[in-house]
Amino acid sequence: MTTTLHLEGKRGVALLHDPLLNKGTAFDEAERDALGLRGLLPPRVATQDQQLERVLENYRRKESPLEKYIYLISLQERNEALFYRLVMQNLDEMMPIIYTPTVGLACQKYGHIFRRPRGLYITRRDRGQVKRILQNWPHADVRIIVITDGERILGLGDLGANGMGIPVGKLSLYTACAGIPPAQCLPIMLDVGTNNATLLADPLYLGVAEARLRGPEYDELVDEFVQAAQQIFPKAVIQFEDFGNSNAFRLLHKYRDQACTFNDDIQGTAGVTLAGLLTSERLTGIPLAQQKILFLGAGEAGIGIGDLIVEALKLQGIPENVARQQCWFVDSKGLVVQSRTDLVEHKLRFAHPHAPMATLLEAVEALKPTALVGVSGMPQTFTEPIVRAMAKLNKRPVIFALSNPTSKAECTAEQCYTWTDGRGIFASGSPFAPVTFNGVTHTPGQGNNSYIFPGVGLGVIASESTRVTDEMFYSAARVLAGLVTENDLKLGRIYPDLNRIREVSLAIATEVAEVAFKRGLTHMLRPADLKAHVEDTMFDPTYPDYV
Ligand code: NAD
The response to whether residue 463 sits with its C-beta less than 6 Å from ligand 1 reads: no
The CATH number that applies at residue 503 is 3.40.50.720
- Sequence-separated (6 or more) residues with CB below 8 Å from residue 504: 451, 455, 479, 480, 483, 496
Same-domain status, 517 and 378: yes
Enumerate the active-site residues.
99, 170
Q: Where are the alpha helices (DSSP H) in 298-445?
A: 300-315, 320-324, 345-348, 360-367, 384-393, 413-419
Tell me, what's the pLDDT at 406?
86
Does residue 332 have its Cβ closer than 6 Å to ligand 1? Answer: yes
For ligand 1, whether the C-beta of 76 sits within 6 Å is no
- Please give the pLDDT value at position 5: 56
Instruction: Clarify whether residues 255 and 269 are in a common domain.
Output: no
Query: 191 with 290, same domain?
Result: no
Q: What is the pLDDT of residues 88-117, one digit of tens each?
A: 999 999 999 999 889 999 999 999 999 999
- 374 CB less than 6 Å from ligand 1? no
Give the residue, by CA position, lying nearest to ligand 1 atom 16. 332
CA pseudo-torsion sign 188, 194, 198, 203: positive
Q: If pLDDT is split at 50, 70 and 90, which confidence band does 131 have?
A: very high
> What is the pLDDT confidence band of residue 430, given thresholds at 50, 70 and 90?
confident
Does 299 sit in the ligand 1 pocket, CB within 6 Å? Answer: yes
Atom number in ligand 1 closest to CA 408: 32
- Tell whether 187 and 230 lie within a shared domain: yes
**For ligand 1, atom 25, which residue shows the shortest CA distance?**
300
Among 277, 294, 372, 375, name the best residue to mutate to test ligand 1's pocket (greatest count of ligand atoms within 8 A of Cβ): 375
Q: Is 327 in the pocket of ligand 1 (CB under 6 A)?
A: no
How many angstroms separate the CA atoms of 190 and 126, rounded? Answer: 10
Examine the domain organization and report whether 329 and 452 are in the same domain.
yes
Nearest CA to ligand 1 atom 15: 332
Which residue, 196, 231, 259, sits at the end of a domain?
A: 259
Q: Is residue 18 part of a domain?
A: no
Are 326 and 205 in the same domain?
no
What is the per-residue pLDDT across 315-362, written as a single tens digit (0 to 9) for each?
899 999 999 999 999 999 999 999 999 999 999 999 999 999 999 999
CA 430 / ligand 1 centre spacing (Å): 14
First to last CA, the chain: 19
Q: What is the phi-psi region of residue 343: left when phi exceeds 0, alpha when psi lies from -120 to 50, beta otherwise?
A: beta
Task: Look at residue 393 and tell me whether its pLDDT is greater than 50.
Answer: yes
Peptide bond into 96 cis (omega under 30): no
Separation CA 294–CA 413 (nearest Å): 19
Three-class secondary structure of residue 531 per DSSP: helix
Q: Does a structural domain hold residue 38?
A: no
- 296 in contact with ligand 1, CB cutoff 6 A: yes
Percent of the chain surpassing pLDDT 70 = 99
Give the residue ranges of DSSP H helices in 349-447.
360-367, 384-393, 413-419
Cβ 302 under 6 angstroms from ligand 1 = yes
Q: Is the CB of 298 under 6 A from ligand 1?
A: yes
Q: Could you read off the pLDDT of 487-542 as tens digits, one per residue?
A: 999 999 999 998 999 999 999 999 999 999 999 999 999 999 999 999 999 999 99
* Domain contains 29: no
DSSP secondary structure string, 472-524?
HHHHHHHHHHHT--HHHHHHT-SS--GGGHHHHHHHHHHHHHHHHHHTT--SS
pLDDT surpasses 80 at 255:
yes
At which of 211, 233, 259 does a domain end?
259
Q: List CB contacts of 408: < 8 A, sequence separation 6 or more.
A: 155, 377, 378, 379
Residue 449 Cβ contacting ligand 1 at under 6 Å: yes
User: Which among 110, 99, 55 has a CA at the least distance from the CA of 454?
Assistant: 99
Pocket test for ligand 1, best of 349, 360, 364, 376 (most atoms within 8 A of CB): 376
Task: Judge whether 84 lies within some domain.
Answer: no
Q: pLDDT at position 419, please?
A: 98
C-alpha distances in Å from residue 121, one per residue of 191, 210, 238, 537: 7, 15, 15, 28
Q: What is the mean pLDDT of residues 242-255?
A: 95
User: Do 198 and 235 share a domain, yes or no?
Assistant: yes
pTM confidence score: 0.94
Residue where a domain terminates, one of 241, 259, 277: 259
Q: Assess if residue 250 is contained within a domain.
A: yes
CA of 83 to the centre of ligand 1 (A): 32
Q: CB of 225 within 8 A of CB of 133?
A: no
pLDDT confidence tier of residue 3, bands split at 50, 70 and 90: very low
d(CA 95, CA 169): 9
Of the given ranges (78-82, 122-126, 429-433), which has the lowest mean pLDDT? Answer: 429-433
Whether 50 is in a domain gets the answer no
Q: How far is the CA of 431 from the centre of ligand 1 (A)?
A: 17
The answer to whether 426 and 417 are in contact (CB under 8 A) is yes
Nearest to 335 by CA among 368, 362, 307: 362
Report CA-CA distances (Å) from 367 to 36, 316, 328.
72, 24, 9
CA angle 252, 458, 531 (to 5 degrees): 135
214: CATH = 3.40.50.10380
State the chain's mean pLDDT as an integer.
96
In a domain, 519, yes or no: yes
Residue 54 is assigned to a structural domain of this protein: no
CB of 306 closer than 6 A to ligand 1? no
Q: Taking residues 12-25, what's their average pLDDT? A: 97
Same domain? 219 vs 275? no
Query: Which protein residue has the closest C-alpha to ligand 1 atom 22?
Result: 332
What is the b/e burial string over 188-211, where b = at least 16 CB atoms within 10 angstroms of the residue's CB? bbbbbbbebeebbeeeebbbbebe
Residue 108 CA to ligand 1 center (angstroms) comes to: 19
Identify the residue whose C-alpha is closest to ligand 1 atom 4. Answer: 299
Give 6's pLDDT tier (boundaries 50, 70, 90): confident
331 lines ligand 1 (CB under 6 A): yes
Phi, psi of 419 (to 5 degrees): -75, -15
Rg of the Cα atoms in the chain: 23
- Residue closest via CA to ligand 1's atom 36 equals 403
SS3 content of the chain, % helix, strand, coil (to 5): 50, 10, 40
Q: Which of 206, 189, 192, 209 is nearest to 127 (CA)?
A: 192
Ligand 1 atom nearest to 298, measured from its CA: 9
Is there an atom of ligand 1 within 6 Å of 301 CB? yes
Is the backbone peptide bond immediately before 43 cis, with ω within 30 degrees of 0?
A: no
Torsions phi, psi for 141 (to 5 deg): -95, 60
Atom of ligand 1 lying closest to residue 100 CA? 34
User: What secondary structure does DSSP assign to 104-162, as a single string?
Assistant: HHHHHTHHHH--S--SEEEEGGGTT-HHHHHHTSS-S---EEEEE-SSS-TTS---GGG
* β strands within 205-300, DSSP E: 237-240, 261-263, 293-296
Report the number of distinct structural domains present in the chain: 2
Q: Residue 2: pLDDT band by 50, 70, 90 thresholds?
A: very low
State in Å: Cα 297 to ligand 1 middle: 5
Distance 154 CA to ligand 1 centre (A): 9
The answer to whether 361 touches 389, Cβ cutoff 8 Å, is yes
User: Is the confidence at residue 405, as pLDDT, over 90?
Assistant: no
Between CA 159 and CA 196 the distance in angstroms is 7
- % of the chain residues with pLDDT over 90: 94
In the reported structure, the alpha carbon of residue 34 is separated from the centroid of ligand 1 by a whole-number distance in angstroms of: 55
Rounded Cα–Cα distance for residues 320 and 314 (Å): 6
Q: Quick check: 79 pLDDT over 80?
A: yes
Q: How far is the CA of 153 from the centre of ligand 1 (A)?
A: 11
CA of 384 to the centre of ligand 1 (A): 20
- Indicate the SS3 state at residue 372: strand
In this structure, the residue with its CA closest to atom 23 of ligand 1 is: 299
**In 3D, which of 361, 239, 241 has the Cα closest to residue 294?**
361
Same domain assignment for residues 439 and 510: yes
**What is the extent of the structural domain holding 208?**
102-259
Q: 230 and 361 in one domain?
A: no
Q: Is 152 in the pocket of ligand 1 (CB under 6 A)?
A: yes
254 in the same domain as 378: no
Note whether 372 and 479 are same-domain residues. Answer: yes
